[in-house]
Amino acid sequence: MKCMVGGYNHHSHLIIITIAPLVIVAGLGILGLVLHGQAIAKKRYEVSKPNDKESGLTAGKCLQASLLVLILVAPTTSTAVLRTFHCRSFDDGAEFLIADLSIECNSAKHRAVELFAGFMIIVYPIGIPLVFLALLATKRDRINPRADSELLAYSQRAADATLSPLRILFDSYRPAVWWFEVLDLVRRNLM
């Protein structure tokens, strides 16, 4: 990539892969809020009742898309963020970033990028799993309903339309292990 775009290095790569997903998620969040607000306004001013499921699904689809973006980018982004701190010392005393040997670790620019990367550690490897866990925990009784059998629990949660935006986080797992996507994300972040 450096050959095509002058000055592209680990620092610019880090900024792009950490900021772009956050911009996309913020855009989807704003779109979801706007669509939800429009649905509420439509409901308030129309004589006939609008389809409530339609407005919920639209805002829900924005949440679902945001979760998908975060699931896809979190491991790779977390790895890039953590590589910002991995330097190698050479015999002459110089330290260079292992991810990009063109970057001197003792430079002022790299120290500033380390501060940025430190904040991104809070956002990606720590923050995203915590947000996913919080989202799942608020609905845990619906994701893992009390039922006489596991099959009945599956069918109860499948019938619950309020869980649709979060299904990407739990649908592949048994109801009792509703939290497993979070554990799997942490595992992938540590690889």
Q: Is the pLDDT score of 135 beyond 90?
A: yes
Return the pLDDT at 159. 94
The secondary structure of residue 50, as a DSSP letter, is: P
Q: Is the pLDDT score of 51 beyond 70?
A: no
pLDDT digits (tens, 9 = 90+) for 79-113: 999 999 999 999 998 999 999 999 999 999 999 99
The full length of the chain comes to 191
Instruction: Look at residue 98 and give its three-state secondary structure.
Output: coil
Return the pLDDT at 55. 47
List the single range of 6-10, 145-149, 176-180 with lowest mean pLDDT: 6-10
Mean pLDDT for the chain overall: 89
Tokens representing residue 89 in the block = 């010392």
Return the pLDDT at 46. 67
Return the pLDDT at 39. 77
Return the pLDDT at 103. 94
Q: Is the pLDDT score of 49 beyond 70?
A: no
Return the pLDDT at 146. 92
Least Cα distance to 13 among 116, 126, 104 occurs for: 116
- The pLDDT confidence band at residue 170, using thresholds 50, 70 and 90, is very high
pLDDT digits (tens, 9 = 90+) for 31-48: 999 888 887 877 777 655
Tokens representing residue 84 in the block = 């910002």
pTM equals: 0.81
In the chain, the amino acid numbered 175 is P
Return the pLDDT at 73. 95
Return the pLDDT at 29. 93
Q: Which residue has the tokens 């330097």?
A: 87
Least Cα distance to 110 among 130, 84, 86 occurs for: 84
